[in-house]
Structure 1
Amino acid sequence: MAISDFDPPERFVAGTVGPPGGRTFFLQARGGGRLVSISIEKVQVSILADRISDLLDTVGGPQASDAMAEHLTDTEALETPIEDEFRVDTVSLAWDEDRSTVVIECHDLDPEEAVPGDTLRVVLDATNARAFARRCQAIVAAGRPPCPFCGQPLDPEGHICPRSNGYKR
């Protein structure tokens, strides 16, 4: 069991590799001469962004303003090489009141032993956490557009919409 701790990281971002519909999502942390990349599900990225925003709206105060975060939002690509350290099984989020920071932990689960495996732990100040959440929301939204009827992702060749009883135009 390895713990990669970035308190604070030089850079912490979510990103993707591949075309919409076939993207692999990653979280990537850099600091202290190390680069750690972990794969994560799209839905986990989306939920993480929403929960960080909710947390900061509740406890983050003025130091986590959207205007400041917009200025800090990282729009650069993931750093290479992208070598997957592990696949995220569980994500935890906490607020460190003493330091006014957000703590994000991503855990792997060893399927053979059903015990925690590797962990990535990142500590961000409120403004950088808000900027991270904004980037997460942007990369999730950059995927395939939703069907206007059922909300499922549209493939380039369309899809069979359950709301139209399978009728394809």
Structure 2
Amino acid sequence: MPTIVHGFDWPDRVVVGTIGSPGSRSFYLQARTGPRVVSVALEKEQSALLARGIDEILDDLRATDGNPANVPELTPVELIDDAPLDQPVEPEFRVGAMTLGWDPSTVQIVIEVYPLVDVEQGDPDDDGLVVDLDAAAALEPAEMVSIRIPVGTARAFTKRTLEVVGAGRPLCPLCGAPMDPDGHVCGRPDDL
């Protein structure tokens, strides 16, 4: 069966947002064109990696002689999006893999996300599960999301995403672990 592609070539909106309280937030990547909205669930770490990867591509492009793609150094004010996720949030899938690219013909960042794949084959190991990475790589995903955004929108996306990721629980100044509102057991070694 061919892969269902949820494509957004020039979306009206693309954001990472959360539902829930710090410490129990669920993260979503959401794209919208007109009334069509697609959301996928992802991890906090995936959100941060996505934003940092896009920033790295934009910074490399900006460093190109003459900045031919007109990559802004900072987020254009008119592109800042602090609105909540479009409701209702009904994720198509949980993200397992992501790819980033650059399309010079349209001057756009290309984000592709694929669902988490669960492949069990062969003899179980000590945990009772064997994952065959070759088999997983050979599987054609049932669906994917492809989002293409211009450089200004990409800068706004990374700014918002990093703010959303950073808005979670405060970090312990001693051990660096997130602190819950009802207490924190510090993982700092006593000999420091």
Q: Max radius of gyration: which structure?
A: 2
* Equivalent residue, structure 2, for 1:51: 53
Q: State the SS of the aligned residue for 2:114.
A: strand
- Residue correspondence of structure 1 range 46-125 to structure 2 within 5 A: 46-60=48-62, 61=67, 63-112=70-119, 114=136, 115=139, 116-125=141-150
Q: Give 1:32 shift.
A: 4.7
Alpha-carbon distance in 2 for matches of 1:26, 1:154: 23
CA contact (8 A) 2:177 2:187 kept: no
After superposition, the CA RMSD in angstroms is: 1.7
Q: State the SS of the aligned residue for 1:4.
A: strand
Tell me if 1:152 matches 2:177: yes
Alpha-carbon distance in 1 for matches of 2:157, 2:73: 11
Q: Give 1:16 shift.
A: 0.1
CA contact (8 A) 2:44 2:165 kept: yes
TM-score between both structures, scaled by the size of structure 1: 0.90
* Alignment CA distance shift 1:81-1:2 (3 Å): same
Deviations 1:93-131 (A, max 9, x none): 001122221000010144258322321100000110010
TM-score between both structures, scaled by the size of structure 2: 0.80
Alpha-carbon distance in 1 for matches of 2:155, 2:84: 19
User: More strand by proportion, 1 or 2?
Assistant: 1
* Equivalent residue, structure 2, for 1:16: 18
Equivalent residue letter for 2:7? D
- Residue identity over aligned pairs, in percent, reads 41
Alpha-carbon distance in 1 for matches of 2:94, 2:88: 16
CA contact (8 A) 2:61 2:71 kept: no
Unaligned stretches of 5+ residues in structure 2: 120-134
Alpha-carbon distance in 2 for matches of 1:59, 1:4: 27
The one of 30, 38, 41 aligned to 2:40? 38
Unaligned stretches of 5+ residues in structure 1: none
Deviations 1:50-78 (A, max 9, x none): 11111100014372324443431210000
Equivalent residue letter for 2:113? C
CA contact (8 A) 2:40 2:92 kept: yes
CA contact (8 A) 1:109 1:118 kept: no
